[in-house]
Structure 1
Amino acid sequence: MRSRLIATMAVVALALAGCGSSDAAAPKAPAGGEHNEADTQFSLMMIPHHKQTIQIADLATKRGSAEPVKVVAAEIMSAEERDIQQMTGWLKGWGVPVPSADEHKGMDMPGMLTDKDIKSLESAQGAAFDKLFLPMVAKHLENGVTMAKDVLKSGQHAETKALANKIVTEQEDQIKKVQALIT
């Protein structure tokens, strides 16, 4: 009986030793070279920012009345969902927990709409919704541009900088579209 226990322990020890090899399950660094704290913070802040943009854009597709408002909202959602996937991959590769959708809820994070803002959108419908949504989303996108420009100055990760440049270009274009709809 004792020899069976020793044999079992030896098998377990060998199996565990195999799991500890340097090749096993080590997270791979994301492409794009080294990253710094600015790159990490950009993704940590931009993911909740984008998720909130998607939340309000989704409301616009359901509650807005003007077709151009719905179209620009759908464009915004599509672009920001892709960005979130990319940033999530980087954070996981860097061993950093990905923020949840409401991680910054109730906090005074720059660029985030307040709970009161969200509630006012949720209670509006039709043209009244459009009138509330358009200036809110324009300001929200402007804050996203500011965040992207900040990481361009202080970031190090090549892919983060490429995404930041894309965000600046796309969101400045979206802001122009939104501002053209404000009457």
Structure 2
Amino acid sequence: MLARLLLGLMLALGGPAVSGCARSAEPATAPTPTAATQFGGTDLAWIEINIAMDEQLLPLLGLVPSRSGSAGVQAVASQVQAVTTAELTELRALHDQAGLPSANPHEGMPMPGMVTPDDVAKAQSLTGKEFDAFVVKAIEAHVEQSQNLAESEDKSGVEPQTRTLALQVLRTRAEVMSTINSIS
């Protein structure tokens, strides 16, 4: 468990630069005999980190319809909410398939791109252009970190479904960045 947590931190903070280290890291305790043969340490950490990041992003996105003054920001938030919700379904299925514990060691962990409860509280105090700028900045940080993590999973992951989802994340994040750039 500690090895997986440390691997997750390395992935979250180092992105692709630590992918060589991630390849050899394995969890201290194997999930289940079947899962241990399919999922490597990078796969397991990537699943957990992305579940935490995506779950913590959703409350911020939920504020957009009532606080944003921009049709463009609302469109970006809607796009991100749709891909995030779809990814969470797949991530949770992979989580269960891998036999990961129900408690996520990355939940609530401050890391690049992670929306914190303090971020949501701050956003709740903003409206209009201030809110829009804050939300777009948070979405951009989330997207950039998601891309870094997905690149690490693509390079160092071993489980095919997880790597496929990482490639999907790279595609959807590029589309989101294109949408953001079109409203800037």
Residue 169 of structure 2 corresponds to which residue in structure 1?
167
Whether 2:164 is the aligned partner of 1:134: answer no
Q: Equivalents in 2 of 1:38, 1:82: separation in Å?
A: 21
Aligned sequence identity (%): 20
- Contact 1:29–1:93 at 8 Å: present in 2 too? no
More helix by share: 2
Q: Equivalents in 1 of 2:102, 2:151: separation in Å?
A: 22
Report how far residue 163 of structure 1 moved. Answer: 0.6
Report how far residue 91 of structure 1 moved. Answer: 1.4
Report how far residue 34 of structure 1 moved. Answer: 1.8
Q: Equivalents in 1 of 2:83, 2:155: separation in Å?
A: 23
Report how far residue 111 of structure 1 moved. Answer: 2.2
Deviations 1:106-163 (A, max 9, x none): x333321344432221111122211211122111111111111111111001111111
Q: State the secondary structure of the residue aligned to 1:62.
A: helix
Aligned-pair RMSD on alpha carbons? 2.3
State the AA in 2 paired with 1:144: S
Whether 2:161 is the aligned partner of 1:154: answer no
Report how far residue 75 of structure 1 moved. Answer: 1.4
- Could you tell me which runs of 5 or more consecutive residues in structure 2 were left unpaired when the two chains were aligned: 1-31
State the AA in 1 paired with 2:159: H
Report how far residue 98 of structure 1 moved. Answer: 3.9
Whether 2:46 is the aligned partner of 1:42: answer yes
Report how far residue 28 of structure 1 moved. Answer: 11
Match of 1:52 among 52, 56, 76: 56
Aligned length: 152
- Contact 1:35–1:157 at 8 Å: present in 2 too? yes
State the AA in 2 paired with 1:43: I
TM-score, normalized by length of structure 2?
A: 0.73
TM-score, normalized by length of structure 1?
A: 0.74
Report how far residue 38 of structure 1 moved. Answer: 0.8
